[in-house]
Structures are given as structure tokens and as C-alpha cells.
Amino acid sequence: MRKDKEYIFQLRREGKSYRQIQKETGVSRATLGAWFKGVPWSKHLSQEHIAKNLGASKERMERMNMVRKLKLQYQYALIEKEAEKEYEIFKRESLFWAGLMIYAGEGDKRSKNLLRISNADFYIHRIFLAFLRKYLKPKENTIKYCLILYPDLDETVCKNEWVHQLSADQNQFHKTQVIQGKEAVKRLQYGVGMSIIPNTSLKRKVLKWLSLAEKENFE
């Protein structure tokens, strides 16, 4: 029997954790676990240490989340400040207003991170994409598309036409959404297209431009 075993048991009775005892005596946690296995008061201490560690972990996570939230708020404040300066420059350009008004009418304003418009006309998407590329400069591989089709439309034909009209790539298209029903009139020959960029910072910038546009005096 180890001479220090009694001392180790005394440390355990004082509420020391396996980690603390190992650090002080050099006895491995595996050995400590074997020694204290089945000892009721030691098991109770283990449960207390687990609860304490969980509480500490939760507190650390809450602090980390708070720091992350503050960093994001600061970052978004900088983005909106930059958007104000850019607005004063861009508002003199027709493409800026064209893209902004397309988003005002066809854009998704509810989601936090998606810049997304839905429209059946190719030229609307081409204008909006030109707006994106000039004023927001997203990475080309972040631009995605999606089609909404009726069941009687051929997905391959429709997708090929959208690829051609938007100079896009097949790999940029998400899974096509098929809606139930049938067109009473063949107006949507190639379905409805969605142009999408998942980017919270760019979304906040566009929404800031829209809020500034609401106060614009056009007289």
C-alpha cells in the first residue's frame, strides 16, 4: 500500500478534485478513480465537482457570447456608417437606384443574412446582379440561384435558359422548388428565379441604403 494513500484520502475528504490531487501528489486520475470507486462520500464530491464545472462552463459560454455579440454590434455599426458615406456618392448613379429599387420591390427584407430577390424576368436579375457586383462586390462563388417551377415545366430546359440569360453556372443553382398547381396562362415559361447572396453585412448595408432612400427629397 502506498504510504501517501491515507494523505490522498484526506485530500479527497477536504473536497479536492482528482485533477488537484494528481497535481499535488503525482498519482494518476485512473488510479484515483480505482481507489475511490464505490466510496459514497467520494461519489457525492464527484457530482458536486461536475455540477460546479458545468456552471463554470455555462458562465464562460455566456461571457463568450456576450463578447461575440458586442463585436458584431460594433462591426455592424461600422458597416452602417460606411453605408451612409457610400450612399452620398452612389445616389448620383442610375444603376445604384435601379438595383436599390429592385430590392425595395422584389427583395427579401425579413431574413437577417440573405440578400435575395425573386422575379420571373431575366433582365430584372441582370440589373440587380450588376448592382451587386458594382456596389457590394461579393465574391462570385457566393452568388447562388434557385428556381421555382410549376410541375408542368421542364426543369432542365428552364435551368439551361436561366444559366444562359444570367451567364451563370449550373453549380450555382440550389435545388429547384416545385409548387403545386398549373399555370392558367403560360406567362412563366421559365419559372421564377431567385438570386441569392448569404451575407449579413451586405444585407445590413442594403437595408441602410433603403432607409436613407426613404428620406430622399426627389423634388
Give per-residue pLDDT as tens, 69-96. Answer: 888 888 889 999 999 999 999 999 999 9
The pLDDT of residue 183 is above 70: no
CB atoms within 10 A of CB 30: 10
Task: Check residues 193 and 219 and name the one with the higher pLDDT.
Answer: 193
Task: Work out the mean pLDDT of the chain and round it to a whole number.
Answer: 86
| Rounded Cα–Cα distance for residues 216 and 219 (Å) | 9
Whether residue 192 has pLDDT greater than 80: yes
Task: Supply the pTM of this predicted model.
Answer: 0.69
Residue 135 has pLDDT above 80, yes or no: yes
User: In this structure, how many other beta carbons lie within 10 angstroms of the beta carbon of residue 162?
Assistant: 22
Task: Summarize the confidence of residues 186-196 as an average pLDDT.
Answer: 86
Parallel, antiparallel, or unpaired for β 114-119 and 192-198? Answer: antiparallel
Tell me the pLDDT band of 48, cut-offs 50, 70 and 90: low
Specify the pLDDT at position 186. Answer: 56
